[in-house]
Amino acid sequence: MAKKASPGTAIVNRKAFHDYHILEKFEAGLELLGTEVKSIRGGNANLLDNYAQIKNGEVWVHQLHIGPYKHGNIMNHEPMRPRRLLLHKREISRLIGKTQQQGLTLVVLRLYWKGNWLKAELGLVQGKKLYDKRQAIAERDVKRQIQRAIRRDM
């Protein structure tokens, strides 16, 4: 009998949406070990401060913390090891050109399940300045106040 994967988003990098302007998004597979997959199914991953680099025509994600699987044995994985992202060659060559522009970075925005496969949403991002962050917070507060006023009137 086939085992069903847990649907939807596993882990979200909320700080990336606050700290960066997201210019483009890509879907990439992840090359993981078995204990890493089991640990992610348990929600034991952290996407904060991760970034991706392109080396020798391959995309590697660094600082992606996947905690050790609690039922793992001595062969458990290393939590902070670099992991390879699986993309098509034409996507990688396109990313090489984009990341060589000044100020653009690759960041994993979220991990999610697509069928039985774990996918990473990779974002091509540009850092926000402090005044951009303040402006985003102010806009969010205004939207929240408008929604509250609409609810009170109903």
For range 14-43, the mean pLDDT: 90
The reply to whether 146 falls in a domain is: no
Distance of CA 152 to the CA centre of its chain: 37
In tens, the pLDDT along 62-92 reads 999 998 888 878 788 888 999 999 999 999 9
- The count of domains in the chain is 1
Sign of CA dihedral 92, 96, 98, 104: positive
- 149 domain residue, yes or no: no
CA dist., res. 10 & res. 43, Å (int): 7
CB atoms within 10 A of CB 93: 13
Residue 152 belongs to a domain: no
The reply to whether 14 falls in a domain is yes
Q: Which domain holds residue 31?
A: 8-128
**Mean pLDDT value of segment 16-33:** 91
Query: Which residue's structure tokens are 């606050």?
Result: 18
CB 106 within 8 A of CB 122: yes
CATH number at residue 21: 2.40.280.10
Percentage of the chain modeled with pLDDT above 90: 43
Q: Is residue 144 part of a domain?
A: no
Q: Is 154 inside a domain boundary?
A: no
In a domain, 145, yes or no: no
